[in-house]
């Protein structure tokens, strides 16, 4: 049974399903109740589930994550919304020193299955702190799982799979794709949320993308086809853990790899993928792994962000360099 909906609606429907199937689940965040969130992702949920389960919290990210940890220790399943990527940092300490370590420091006695939703990424013409991609900062912390859907179908299921997971999960939601429409099959879950998907098959090169850049990678692959190049596109879906098996297998087939993300390339996920592929499939590589990402600067002002964000042209230029090597 398939329904067409936007990604925002898909997450809304996924949260609704989680609230229905888990009586101990609850949503926490700033403005998520009556307003339905600044992106309306939680619209209507307070009306249907009540203020006790869809909680408008005080404006304090560390307090949101910290009390969510306490609720989780008591047996609840809190799903926290951080309003914007750049506002997660007041809660960074709670996420990295407390949430990520609760299971290991208690030697498995305790778990803190908190879900944290973070709208992330740029391309929305907004102001400072509203367009960032901080996923690598969290991926570096053991104990966290990080996933990012790129389409409504994944969004619907991955948010529910995050709630089901016994580990803490951060769901990075590509905010500029909230209005992207797609078919959602509410009867059959997508596969393992921590696996990568090949979303376009190809034979000459691989582009690994995730979240907001998957549609960009697909468009670049379509453009490359006009030049006679067959480009495979891998939607990473999970940033921690990373499905290196799927990525490596693709590179063994194509011999060329471009990794793209909005986050700065330095110290980013692309570097980690390049290193792993070099370790696992060095002899399959026809060219060095290339990264197309953000620059080593604070996210630029809206009027020039198009030069910062990876786009079709930058991906095609990287493909040219790879093929010219």
Binding-site ranges for other proteins (CB under 8 A): 52, 57-58, 60, 62-63, 65-76, 78, 90, 93-94, 97-98, 101, 103-111, 113, 142-143, 145, 165-167, 194, 240-245
On whether the CB atoms of residues 152 and 159 are closer than 8 A, the answer is no
Of 214, 227, 194, the residue nearest 261 (C-alpha)? 214
Task: Output the six-digit token pair for 235.
Answer: 């939607």
Task: Give the dihedral sign, CA 82/88/90/92.
Answer: positive
Buried b (16+ CB within 10 A) or exposed e, 204-230: bbbbbbbbbbbbbbbebbebbeeeebe
Task: Give, rounded to a whole angstrom, the gap between the first and last alpha carbons of the chain.
Answer: 47
Q: Which is nearer to other proteins, 50 or 298 (CB)?
A: 50
Q: Which is nearer to other proteins, 107 or 226 (CB)?
A: 107
Supply the residues annotated as catalytic: 130
Of 28, 105, 114, the residue nearest 70 (C-alpha)? 114
CB of 24 to other proteins, least distance (A): 9
Nearest-angstrom CA–CA distance, 303 and 94: 34
Q: Which is nearer to other proteins, 101 or 197 (CB)?
A: 101
CB of 55 to other proteins, least distance (A): 8
Strands (DSSP E) along 46-155, which ranges? 54-56, 77-81, 115-120, 145-147
β 197-200/231-235 pair status: antiparallel
Q: Which is nearer to other proteins, 167 or 317 (CB)?
A: 167
Nearest-angstrom CA–CA distance, 78 and 112: 9
Q: Which is nearer to other proteins, 108 or 228 (CB)?
A: 108
Of 50, 51, 105, 42, the residue nearest 73 (C-alpha)? 105
DSSP class of 16: H
Q: Which is nearer to other proteins, 57 or 265 (CB)?
A: 57
Which residues 6+ apart lie within 8 Å of 30 measured at CB? 56, 57, 59, 64, 81, 83
């Amino acid at each position: 049974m398939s329904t067409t909906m936007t990604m925002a609606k898909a997450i809304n429907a996924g949260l609704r399903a989680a609230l229905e199937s888990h009586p101990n689940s609850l949503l926490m965040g700033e403005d998520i109740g009556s307003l339905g969130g600044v992106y309306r992702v939680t619209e209507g949920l307070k009306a249907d589930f009540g203020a006790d389960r869809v909680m408008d919290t005080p404006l304090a990210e560390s307090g949101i994550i910290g009390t969510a940890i306490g609720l989780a220790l008591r047996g609840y399943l809190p799903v926290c919304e951080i309003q914007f990527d750049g506002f997660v940092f007041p809660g960074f300490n709670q996420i990295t020193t407390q949430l990520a370590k609760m299971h290991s420091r208690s030697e498995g006695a305790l778990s803190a299955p908190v879900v944290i939703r973070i709208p992330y990424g740029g391309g929305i013409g907004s102001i400072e702190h509203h367009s960032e991609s901080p996923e690598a900062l969290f991926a570096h912390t053991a104990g966290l799982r990080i996933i990012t859907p790129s389409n409504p179908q994944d969004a619907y299921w991955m948010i529910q799979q995050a709630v089901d997971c016994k580990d803490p999960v951060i769901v990075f939601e590509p905010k500029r794709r909230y209005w992207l429409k797609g078919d959602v099959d509410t009867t059959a879950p997508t596969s393992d949320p921590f696996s990568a998907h090949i979303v376009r098959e190809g034979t000459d090169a691989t582009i690994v993308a995730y979240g907001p850049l998957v549609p960009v990678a697909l468009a670049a692959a379509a453009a490359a086809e006009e030049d006679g190049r067959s480009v495979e596109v891998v939607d990473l879906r999970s940033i921690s853990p990373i499905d290196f098996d799927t990525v490596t297998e693709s590179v063994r087939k194509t011999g060329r790899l471009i990794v793209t993300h909005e986050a700065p390339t330095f110290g980013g996920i692309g570097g980690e993928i390049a290193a792993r592929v070099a370790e696992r499939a060095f002899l399959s590589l026809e060219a060095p792994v290339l990264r197309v990402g953000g620059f080593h600067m604070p996210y630029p002002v809206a009027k020039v962000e198009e030069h910062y964000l990876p786009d079709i042209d930058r991906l095609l230029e990287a493909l040219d360099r790879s093929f010219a090597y």
